[in-house]
A and B are shown apart, each in its own frame.
Chain A
Amino acid sequence: EAGVVQSPRYKIIEKKQPVAFWCNPISGHNTLYWYLQNLGQGPELLIRYENEEAVDDSQLPKDRFSAERLKGVDSTLKIQPAELGDSAVYLCASSLGATGRGTQYFGPGTRLTVL
């Protein structure tokens, strides 16, 4: 069974440029999460989807970040414009069922560097 797929693995951009990250969850997993992980820190939730509905986006900086999960499968996280402080690893995870207590399976992450 394929795991959570993320692309790209690495991205280097200049500040004020836009950037997008893509995530394909494990087949059948209806819950999808986007996390931000700073160096030496634990992941922090940005947004959680139940199917195609964003049910928790309270930590998403909506002035520059946006996300979508069309058809309730893969998802895209976008930053526009990027700032120096956005340099971090962006993790995607998925879990089975709407309970939220299910085990989360993580992708390899995208390391973003903003110059």
Chain B
Amino acid sequence: AQTVTQSQPEMSVQEAETVTLSCTYDTSESDYYLFWYKQPPSRQMILVIRQEAYKQQNATENRFSVNFQKAAKSFSLKISDSQLGDAAMYFCAYSSGTYKYIFGTGTRLKVLA
């Protein structure tokens, strides 16, 4: 069965600095998708970034980028120039042909002014 592991329950970063959130997953499938979702205290989950496993190039969205290591089954999120509005829970998620999303337990990111 597929699993998603986020080993950092909480991270802190100074405003304007860079932080990396870790995610590892386990699967025997070759075709799948990986996502990072952000959930601010208001609870609405928002997609941050998405990576297709067949693509070697790491996805980027403005200040957000991923380091996708398929062989190592690692999918980390880098946030550059951190802003106060980045403070939230971040969830790593996996999806494949079974159409089911599997979420990690989340990492709470605190941004210090």
- Report A's interface with B, CB cutoff 8 A: 31, 33, 40-45, 48, 55-56, 89, 91, 93, 98-101, 103-109, 111
Could you tell me if B95 and A100 are in contact, using CB atoms closer than 8 angstroms?
A: yes
C-alpha spacing A100/B33, complex, angstroms: 10
C-alpha spacing A33/B102, complex, angstroms: 13
Count B interface residues, CB 8 Å. Answer: 25
Could you tell me if B91 and A42 are in contact, using CB atoms closer than 8 angstroms?
A: yes
Known: A41-B105, A41-B106. A100 touches B42 (CB 8 A): no
Picked from A44, A45, A56, A109, the residue with its CB within 8 Å of the CB of B43 is: A109
Given A89-B43, A91-B43, A100-B97, 20 new contacts (CB under 8 A): A31-B99, A33-B101, A41-B106, A42-B91, A42-B93, A42-B105, A43-B45, A48-B99, A100-B98, A101-B32, A101-B33, A101-B95, A101-B96, A101-B97, A104-B45, A106-B37, A108-B42, A108-B44, A109-B44, A111-B43
- Report B's interface with A, CB cutoff 8 A: 4, 32-33, 35, 37, 42-47, 50, 91, 93, 95-101, 103-106
Q: Which 4 A-B pairs have CB atoms at the shortest separation, nearest pair first? A: A100-B99, A42-B103, A106-B45, A109-B43
Known: A42-B91, A42-B103, A43-B103. A106 touches B97 (CB 8 A): no
14 contacts between A and B (CB under 8 A): A41-B105, A42-B106, A48-B99, A91-B45, A93-B45, A98-B99, A100-B97, A100-B99, A101-B33, A103-B35, A103-B50, A106-B37, A106-B45, A109-B44
